[in-house]
Amino acid sequence: MKYRRLGHSGLKVSAIGLGANNFGTAAKWPFHLGQKETSAIIDRTLDVGINFIDTANAYGAGKSEEFIGVALKGKRDQAVIATKVWSAMGDGPNDKGSSRHHVMAQVEKSLTRLQTDYIDLYQLHSWDDDTPIEETVRAMDDLITQGKVRYVGCSNYSAWQVCEAMWTARSHHMNEMVSVQPPYSMLDRKAEDELVPFCDAYNVGILPYFPLAHGLLTGKYRKGQAPPKGSRLAGNDRGMLTEGNLDIVEKLNAFCKERSHTILELAFAWLLSRPAVSSVIAGATKPEQVASNAKTVEWELTEADLTEIDGILNA
């Protein structure tokens, strides 16, 4: 495994991270994972050198954090745990958002579920229009001072929102955000309009999620063929199975075949060619998927490769 600095911090995270949004979801969810499956996946995660595990208090209504806490018992020092706050965790008016009240209440619950006394990276899951950014930034800064959180970041923030949070922290001599999580893949490059240039300039780490474009970049989906039964896009294609996207996938498959690689490996390698990317967050439903994801760090794309890929993506 290869490791990278998390933004402008000194913390090293694995270039491939483990996304835990399937842990503890309702049994009716097609990718539901219980405690036994979660523990097996995390054991394999640590075995292959992945140390970055990303979850949220809302995943599985708290079960994801709970299962991770059990799986990491006796192994806490091997993991860099990232979790999030913002989502509604109850029906009350203060049971959601990024207010000081909600942040302070939820961090205690996350610490309990994770069976730890500190969170490595505490992230704001989304922007909160109802709370002044200074209130939120100061609450996160206080958590670092208290030792309950070591670094802070955000998810689903636009460039101006990350900038606003960082400017507020810098103006008041508080801890700045070290990372941001956007959806980002070869088939979803909206982040490159403003967010990626901002992160490059201010050394904010990017933690892409949906790196496989909801599974379209796994190689499972082909032109003229129905989605495989039980696959993520079989029931709802999320607008991904367009003729244009499938044309791109065919060309990327050919590119990979010429180099004895897979399109899944390319999806990770392409993101890791971006300097601001600290770790690519990838989910897994089986231990062998973790091992497969981890091996993708071995492929380093050349400038010629990247030029050819851009030609395919921009055709």
Residues classed as catalytic: 59
Helices 35-47 and 287-295: crossing angle in degrees, nearest 10, is 30
Q: Calculate the alpha carbon distances from 60 to 20, 21, 56, 250 in Å.
A: 9, 7, 9, 35
Closest CA to 210 of 190, 182, 233: 182
The answer for residues whose C-beta is within 8 angstroms of residue 95's C-beta and 6 or more apart is: 88, 89, 102
Pairing of strands 12-14, 3-5: antiparallel
Query: What residue type is 182 in one-letter code?
Result: P
- Assess contact for 24 and 306: CB atoms under 8 A: no
Taking the C-alpha atoms of residue 262 and residue 5, their distance in angstroms, rounded to an integer, is 27
- Provide the 10 A C-beta neighbour count for residue 251: 16
Residues 125, 86: contact at Cβ < 8 Å? yes
Q: Are 83 and 122 in contact (CB under 8 A)?
A: yes
- The DSSP string of 158-200 is -HHHHHHHHHHHHHTT-PPP-EEE-B-BTTB-GGGTTHHHHHH
Of the candidates 145, 154, 160, the residue with the CA atom closest to the CA atom of residue 178: 154
Q: What CA dihedral angle connects 300, 301, 302 and 308, to 10 degrees? A: 170
Per the CB < 8 A criterion, the answer to whether 14 and 2 are in contact is: yes
